[in-house]
A and B are shown apart, each in its own frame.
Chain A
C-alpha cells in the first residue's frame, strides 16, 4: 500500500469558538508593565499562539469527552476583574483558622489588607528582586512546558497568554519553611469577570514547605459565574519536600479551570491532597513528573458533585526515570443530576525500571440521574515495574451498614456516617492538624445538611440474574 492519501486522517481545523477569539482579545487588552514584562513575554506569546491553534473542547476531543465547556463557549463579554477587597464576613467565616502565612487574592488581585506580609522568598512577579527574577526566568513555564503538546490543555496555554503577574514561592536550599503558606483565592459575586492566576513554586535542594491553595466564593449567590483560570507550577529540587493541598470550594455557579504541574527531582517527596466540589464547570489537571531517581509522591483526591454540577479531574503521573514511586487514591460521590469525571493516567517511560505505581479510584453514585465516568489508564514501556490500578463504582458496604444498625443507629444516620466515612478516610493523610480538623467539620456539615451525597442505594440482589 502506498502512502498516498485518500480518506484524510487530518480533520479540517475546527473554527475558533467565540470565547477563543474574545479571550485572545482580552490578552491584547492587558498592558504588561515594563519592569517585568520581559519575564512574561515569551510565555504570553507562546500561550496565545497555542491557544489560537487549539481545537475547542467537544465530545470528540478525548480529554474533554465528558465535560461540557458550554458555559464558556459563546462568552464574548467576559471582562477583567478590578481588584477589590474581601469582605470581613467572608474572611471571618470561610477561612481556615491556622497559624500560617496567609495571602488573600480577590478576583485574582492581591488584597494586601487581608494578607500577611510576604516573608523572604515569596513575592509577586511584579515585585521580584534580582534573585527572584533569576528564579522566575529559570523556572516559569518550564514545568508546564514539558507536557506532551498532544495532551496540553488549551486552558494552560491560555493561562500563559493571560499572565500579567504571578506569585513566586521560592524556598532556598535546605530551608525549612515552618509556617504553612495559605493562599486564599476569593471570587466575588461580580458577573462574568475573569481572574487569571499563575503561581510558581520552587523548592531548592533539601528545602521543605507546606502550601495550601483554597478557592472560595465570597458570597454564595447564584449568578456568580466568574471564570477563574489557574496554573501552579512546582519545581521540587533534590531531596525537597512539599505538602500541597488544594481545595476548590467555590459557589456552584463558578467556572474554574485549573492545573497543577510538578517536577520532582532526585529523592524529592510530594504529598498532595485535593478536594473539589462540583460547579457549573470545574476542570482540574494534575501533571506530576518524576524527573529524578528516588522521588516519591502520594496523592489523594476527593470530588463531591451534586445538583447540576460537573467536576472533572485529569491526573497524569509520568515516571520518566527509574526507581520512583507513586501512590494515588481518589474517591468521589456524585448525586442528583451531577456528573463527575476521573481520568487518571500513569505513564512509565522506557527504562524507568523499578517503578512502583499504584492508583485507586472508588465512587459512589447516590442518584440514578447522576453520572460518573472513570478512566484509569496505564501506559507502560518498562518491564521491571510494579503497576496496578483499580476502579470501582458501588454502594455502601452492606456488612458495615448492618454493624451500625445492630448497634441501634438508624438507617438514615448509618448511611450518612458511612458516606461521610468513605471520604473522611482520605483526610487522614493531611498533616496540618488545623486544616484536617476544619475540613472534617466542613465535610461533616456538607453530609448532614444535604442528603444528596448520602448513598441510599441498595445493591442489587444476587438472585435471578443467571439465565
Chain B
C-alpha cells in the first residue's frame, strides 16, 4: 500500500529525514517511536504534503501512485489522513460545514454522490457519539474553544467520517488523560480492517497497550534504526532511547 524509499526531506533548510525506508501492507499497524527531534512529525507532514516540508530525494508510492505528484487535497482524497498533533482552531467556520465539505470531496473522488444534509447530519451524529463528543459541537467553529482532548477526539471523528486508506496518527496520545485515550483507541480499533493501514507516531509506549501494533519502528536522526514487534516498545519504555544510540545503530 505504502512504500517509502530512501526519503530525504528538509524543514526550513535543515535536513530532518535522512534516507528513510518503510513499507506498509494493507491492514497493518505500524508504530513509529523515537526521541524528540527524530523526525517523527516530519514524516506525517511530508507524506501529506505540508508547505515548508521539502522533499530532497527519495520516493513514496501509495497504492501505486507517486504521492509527491499529488497536491495536499489530492492525497487526502486518495485516502491519506493525518490526525494532527496540534489541530488548528478556525473560528467562523463551523465544524459541520467543514466536515461536510471534506466528506463531499472524498465521496466525489470515489465517484459517490454527495450526502444529503439529512444523511450527513445522521452520520455526523453517529460518529460524534462514538468519540463521546456532544453533537452540539457541530455548530461551533472548527476546534474553537475545544480542550486538548476534544480536539483529538474530533480528529478521530473526522477519520471515521472520511474512511481513509492510510491513517497517520501524529502523537494523538499527547495531552490525553486515560479516559480520553481509551476513547481514541477504541475509535481507531473499530476502524481497523484488512484494507486500512495505520502509522501510529508516538513518544510513549502507553498508547500501544490500547492500539496493538504489528510492527514497531524506532526513528532516530531521520532514519529507522530498529524494527521489532510490540515487545520493542516495552523495551524502549524500560530503557529509554539512549541504549540504541550507544549500540551505534
**Does A430 interact with chain B (Cβ within 8 Å)?**
no
**Does B242 interact with chain A (Cβ within 8 Å)?**
no
- Within B82-105, the residues touching A (CB, 8 Å) are 82, 84, 87-88, 90-93, 97-98, 101-102, 105
**Does A424 interact with chain B (Cβ within 8 Å)?**
yes
| Chain B residues closer than 8 Å to A405, beta-carbon distance | 71-73, 76
Q: Given A404-B98, A420-B93, A397–B88 Cβ distance below 8 Å?
A: yes
**Does B40 interact with chain A (Cβ within 8 Å)?**
no
The residue of chain B having its C-beta at the shortest distance from the C-beta of A425 within the complex is B92
Segment with Cβ contacts to B, from A89-97, A112-120, A261-269, A411-419: A411-419
The residue of chain A having its C-beta at the shortest distance from the C-beta of B77 within the complex is A408
Nearest Cβ in chain A — how far from B67, in angstroms? 13
Could you tell me the distance between the alpha carbons of A407 and B90 in the complex, rounded to whole angstroms? 14
Q: Is B88 touching A400 in the complex (CB atoms < 8 A)? A: yes
CB < 8 Å neighbour of A423 from B48, B92, B142:
B92
Q: Given A406-B82, A408-B73, A408-B106, A422–B101 Cβ distance below 8 Å?
A: no
| Chain A residues closer than 8 Å to B91, beta-carbon distance | 421, 425
| Chain B residues closer than 8 Å to A403, beta-carbon distance | 84, 87-88, 90, 142
| Chain B residues closer than 8 Å to A414, beta-carbon distance | 73
Contact with A along B48-76 (1 / 0, CB 8 A): 11110000000000000000000111011
**Does A392 interact with chain B (Cβ within 8 Å)?**
no
Could you tell me the distance between the alpha carbons of A368 and B92 in the complex, rounded to whole angstroms? 25
**Does B109 interact with chain A (Cβ within 8 Å)?**
yes
| Chain A residues closer than 8 Å to B101, beta-carbon distance | 404, 407, 409, 413, 417
| Chain B residues closer than 8 Å to A399, beta-carbon distance | 88
| Chain B residues closer than 8 Å to A400, beta-carbon distance | 88, 90
Could you tell me the distance between the alpha carbons of A441 and B142 in the complex, rounded to whole angstroms? 18
Could you tell me the distance between the alpha carbons of A409 and B48 in the complex, rounded to whole angstroms? 13
Q: Is A421 touching B141 in the complex (CB atoms < 8 A)? A: yes
Question: Which of A407, A411, A413: most chain B Cβ within 10 A?
Answer: A407
Q: Is B88 touching A409 in the complex (CB atoms < 8 A)? A: no
Q: Is B73 touching A411 in the complex (CB atoms < 8 A)? A: yes
Question: Which of B72, B88, B91: most chain A Cβ within 10 A?
Answer: B72
Q: Is B92 touching A407 in the complex (CB atoms < 8 A)? A: no
**Does A369 interact with chain B (Cβ within 8 Å)?**
no
Could you tell me the distance between the alpha carbons of A411 and B73 in the complex, rounded to whole angstroms? 8
| Chain A residues closer than 8 Å to B105, beta-carbon distance | 407-410, 413
Q: Given A406-B48, A407-B102, A421–B109 Cβ distance below 8 Å?
A: no
Could you tell me the distance between the alpha carbons of A404 and B88 in the complex, rounded to whole angstroms? 10
**Does A402 interact with chain B (Cβ within 8 Å)?**
yes
**Does A398 interact with chain B (Cβ within 8 Å)?**
yes
| Chain B residues closer than 8 Å to A422, beta-carbon distance | 92
Q: Is B141 touching A402 in the complex (CB atoms < 8 A)? A: no
**Does B202 interact with chain A (Cβ within 8 Å)?**
no
Could you tell me the distance between the alpha carbons of A312 and B50 in the complex, rounded to whole angstroms? 38
CB < 8 Å neighbour of B72 from A406, A413, A417, A421:
A406
11 more A-B residue pairs beyond the given contacts A397-B90, A405-B72, A407-B76, with a C-beta to C-beta distance below 8 A? A406-B75, A406-B76, A406-B81, A406-B84, A409-B76, A409-B102, A418-B90, A418-B93, A421-B90, A422-B92, A425-B92
A residues apposed to B, CB below 8 Å: 397-400, 402-411, 413-414, 417-418, 420-426
Residue contacts A-B, CB under 8 angstroms, 22 given: A397-B90, A400-B90, A402-B72, A403-B90, A403-B142, A404-B90, A406-B49, A406-B81, A406-B82, A407-B73, A407-B101, A408-B77, A408-B109, A408-B162, A409-B73, A414-B73, A417-B93, A418-B90, A421-B141, A423-B92, A424-B92, A425-B141
